[in-house]
Homo-oligomer: A and B are copies of this chain.
């Protein structure tokens, strides 16, 4: 008897992960490949097509029952990736392309929604109906479950928590608006904070180190753990702003938990402790200390493919 698997694909700005997942949530095989977002999307699709075809030819016990895709700006309703940031693809009808290639059901959602679906199907949120997955990386994304249902909104673009403003006169965000949560609480946000702090402390060694290149979470975490004052200040400031955003969402949606996922979520309690304090100070209805802030327990890079695959497996 064939072993049914779904192909889960998580397309990221830098790397793409794909994997074969069975209905127990066991990842039978997975691999990370570069996205190459500056060239045609067909290059990525060709590479995935070859790898998947070869795998299924070499492993005849598996039967592919469908494909779930998570991608930046992936629209569940239209099946299109619409002008993804950091990828030069414009709008891509990715569901149709995959259906033509693989002749099987293909479903699309955005990357943060895929992570939320992964937590619901196989992670910390299995027993939760109301939770928000916050993806912390270069940017800040979110996938929202309420009443046991993933929220898509009218146009498929619900969950833009990175672009709720915590200060309408605040920092200019890449999106053109001011005070977006992402411009404070993400790798990009920390880069902004380092830039601002350097004006005040031009000779600080940690700030000079951090300003040189891409924000290195490892360097910052290590400095924090050694008690470096500037690292403490950076995480305190970032956590406070993150907590503002959490309070906004919590007052609207009353979730049981926020679950943090993505590279920058490895900061863990270094950022969640000040975020919790700031969130609690801005809640109403006596819900202080009731909303859990949790770090995802799914392996880094796997929530997305698990969640994307769950779109197929849950049918």
Contacts and interface: CB of A to CB of B under 8 A. Distances in A.
Interface in A118-166: 128-130, 142, 144, 146-147, 149, 151-161, 163-166
Given A130-B154, A153-B130, A164 B254 contact: no
A287 B155 contact: yes
A168 B251 CA distance: 14
Contacts of A28: none
B130 A251 contact: no
A139 to B, nearest CB: 12
A44 interface: no
A249 B249 CA distance: 9
Contacts of A167: 167-168
A255 interface: yes
Contacts of A165: 244, 247-248, 282
A253 interface: yes
B253 A153 contact: yes
Interface in A94-127: none
Nearest to A168: B244
A29 to B, nearest CB: 34
A54 interface: no
B177 A284 contact: yes
A249 to B, nearest CB: 7
A253 B157 CA distance: 8
29 contacts: A128-B154, A129-B154, A144-B252, A146-B158, A147-B149, A149-B149, A151-B253, A153-B253, A153-B255, A154-B255, A154-B256, A155-B254, A156-B254, A157-B254, A157-B285, A158-B252, A158-B253, A159-B252, A163-B251, A164-B247, A164-B252, A165-B244, A165-B282, A166-B168, A167-B167, A167-B168, A168-B244, A249-B252, A252-B252
Interface of A: 128-130, 142, 144, 146-147, 149, 151-161, 163-168, 175, 177, 244, 247-249, 251-256, 281-282, 284-285, 287, 290
Given A158-B254, A252-B252, 10 more contacts: A147-B152, A153-B253, A153-B254, A154-B254, A155-B285, A155-B287, A158-B252, A160-B252, A160-B285, A164-B251
